[in-house]
């Protein structure tokens, strides 16, 4: 196990009805004037918006609104939010929604206290040193941004979907997790979220660091929980127990509890971000296509690790003479599970074409560091990225 620092100072209020405490939480963390950030309107249909605004009113906290955040959130909303915060003297950002809404609030929080362009944080031109406080009320179990140290925004100039450097500075001050809010999710978004959680864990699980037994076991438990709960939530959207398991797993999958002390990979996420920046697909759907293809590509790097995953997580039987066969069976099972959940598992099903592969690889080169190589488990250059995309055809 490697040395590590773990600092994740987010307050979590978990469970049915916790939304009514939002006003008190904003006060507790020093907010006196809120900008409420939300998406395309789901929160107005499922009651979350009414509960949260009533709670703020009860606590005597004035609230401005910034609605209309799109999935794969765009820079335009961030600039709009920064203007409102400065003009109106807002001192607290409250995100009501999923990863897109939370990341928009995080980016507004960084940008509002900075004289330059908030995008400087994403290009590396400026370090993230401070931010306005951000609280979240989560409505979809997926991205893990409610407890994470990351933020992903698409800049409209060039369709650049980039994450800012990871930093504890941007972890939310508090997150309210009421699983009942996620009961209104359509099956497709429920499945996208489940895939994203599994991917967050796999990005950590596939590591070259030795002696990581505890975090291996934590990761396996989290994925097995998703594999158990996701079909239940898909069969019955109002299954509170399943929604609750998914909600807390989504947080644990990405606050780095199971990633400490080990090198991490993140190649599948890097490739997926190119897909969702160019085709505006759901992040989880892109991962359902890329993750199994990446696993196929890297199987021979360490067949025993992949076979361990296949046996412990997916219930495959170990072929001691040929662990690579067990590994491949595990990848096939995972792909079948994603398919059974209604996810695309090929680029074609996602709506992209084979001739798009060179475009995706070239787009990656726009990153400030030239984009290549990436991936902590197996180094991925342009040819390897193209090969993984071909495996996903
Ligand atoms: O916009 P509304 O109307 O709210 O609808 C949303 C949206 O269409 C809908 N939705 C959310 N809660 C709902 C609901 N519909 C019905 N009932 C509810 N309770 O779901 C759709 C997707 O929402 P979004 O916020 O985009 O989902 P998600 O949480 O999957 O976030 C995805 C974004 O997060 C980024 C992704 O790249 C993507 O941009 N990520 C952020 C990370 C982070 N900051 O730590 C890590 C992740 O790896 C990821 O990259
Ligand atoms: Zn993700």
- For ligand 1, atom 8, name the residue with the nearest CA: 71
* pLDDT tens digit sequence for 275-319: 999 999 999 999 999 999 999 999 999 999 999 999 999 999 999
| pLDDT for position 353 | 79
- 142, pLDDT greater than 80: yes
Domains and CATH numbers, the chain: 11-182 (3.40.50.1970), 187-391 (1.20.1090.10)
* pLDDT tens digit sequence for 228-277: 999 999 999 999 999 999 999 999 999 999 999 999 999 999 999 999 99
Atom of ligand 1 minimally distant from the CA of 141: 29
- What pLDDT band is residue 45 in, cutting at 50, 70 and 90? very high
| Mean pLDDT confidence for 150-174 | 97
Single out the residue of 86, 72, 70, 71 nearest to residue 118, CA to CA: 86
- What pLDDT band is residue 11 in, cutting at 50, 70 and 90? very high
- For ligand 1, atom 34, name the residue with the nearest CA: 99
Q: What backbone phi and psi angles, to 5 degrees, belong to 282?
A: -65, 140
Centre of ligand 2 to C-alpha 261, Å, is 20
- For ligand 1, atom 48, name the residue with the nearest CA: 143
- What pLDDT band is residue 355 in, cutting at 50, 70 and 90? confident
- For ligand 1, atom 49, name the residue with the nearest CA: 143
* pLDDT tens digit sequence for 178-234: 999 999 999 999 999 999 999 999 999 999 999 999 999 999 999 999 999 999 999
| pLDDT for position 352 | 87
Ligand 2 is an ion; residues with CB less than 5 A from it: 196
- For ligand 1, atom 16, name the residue with the nearest CA: 185
Single out the residue of 182, 204, 205, 180 nearest to residue 194, CA to CA: 182
CA 340 to CA 231: how far, in whole Å?
Answer: 9
Centre of ligand 2 to C-alpha 380, Å, is 18
- What pLDDT band is residue 136 in, cutting at 50, 70 and 90? very high
Centre of ligand 1 to C-alpha 221, Å, is 24
Atom of ligand 1 minimally distant from the CA of 181: 19
Centre of ligand 2 to C-alpha 199, Å, is 6
Centre of ligand 1 to C-alpha 374, Å, is 25
Site residues for ligand 1, CB cut-off 6 Å: 39-43, 46, 71-73, 97-101, 103, 139-140, 142-145, 148, 150-152, 181-182, 184-185, 189, 192-193, 196, 254, 269, 283-284
Summary mean pLDDT of the chain: 98
Residue in 100, 105, 203 to alter for ligand 1 test, most ligand atoms within 8 A of Cβ: 100
Residue in 283, 286, 287, 291 to alter for ligand 1 test, most ligand atoms within 8 A of Cβ: 283
CA 163 to CA 246: how far, in whole Å?
Answer: 24
- For ligand 1, atom 36, name the residue with the nearest CA: 283
């Amino acid at each position: 196990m490697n040395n590590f620092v773990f600092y994740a100072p987010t307050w979590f209020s978990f469970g049915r009805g916790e939304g009514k405490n939002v006003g008190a939480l904003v006060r507790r963390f020093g907010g006196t004037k809120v900008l409420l950030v939300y998406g395309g309107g789901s929160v107005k249909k499922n009651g979350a918006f009414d509960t949260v605004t009533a709670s703020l009113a009860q606590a005597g906290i004035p609230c401005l609104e910034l609605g209309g955040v799109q999935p794969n959130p765009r820079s335009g909303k961030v600039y709009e939010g920064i203007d409102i915060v400065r003009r109106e003297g807002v001192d607290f950002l409250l995100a009501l929604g999923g990863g897109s809404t939370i990341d928009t609030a995080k980016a507004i929080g960084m940008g509002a206290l900075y004289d330059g362009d908030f995008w400087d944080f994403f290009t590396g031109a400026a370090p993230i040193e401070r931010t306005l406080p951000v609280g979240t009320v989560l409505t979809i179990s997926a991205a893990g941004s409610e407890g994470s140290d990351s933020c992903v925004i698409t800049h409209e100039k060039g369709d650049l979907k980039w994450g800012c450097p990871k930093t504890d500075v941007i972890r939310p001050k508090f997150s309210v997790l009421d699983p009942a809010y996620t009961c209104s999710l359509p099956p497709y978004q429920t499945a996208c979220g489940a895939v994203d959680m599994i991917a967050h864990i796999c990005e950590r699980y596939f590591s070259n660091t030795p002696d990581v037994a505890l975090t291996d076991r934590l990761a396996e438990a989290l994925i097995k929980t998703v594999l158990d709960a996701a079909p239940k939530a898909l069969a019955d959207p109002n299954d509170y127990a399943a929604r609750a398991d998914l909600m807390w797993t989504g947080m644990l999958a990405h606050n780095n509890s199971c990633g400490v002390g080990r090198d991490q990979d993140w190649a599948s996420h890097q490739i997926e971000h190119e897909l969702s920046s160019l085709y505006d697909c759901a992040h989880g759907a892109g991962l359902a296509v890329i993750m199994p293809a990446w696993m196929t590509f890297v199987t021979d790097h360490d067949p025993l690790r992949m076979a361990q995953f296949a046996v412990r997580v997916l219930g495959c039987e170990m072929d001691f003479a040929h662990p690579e066969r067990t590994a491949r069976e595990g990848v096939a099972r995972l792909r079948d599970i994603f398919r059974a959940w209604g996810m695309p598992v090929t680029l074609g099903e996602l709506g992209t074409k084979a001739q798009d592969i060179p475009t995706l690889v070239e787009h990656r080169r726009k990153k400030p560091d030239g984009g290549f190589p990436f991936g902590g488990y197996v180094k991925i250059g342009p040819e390897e990225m193209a090969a993984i995309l071909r495996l996903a055809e």
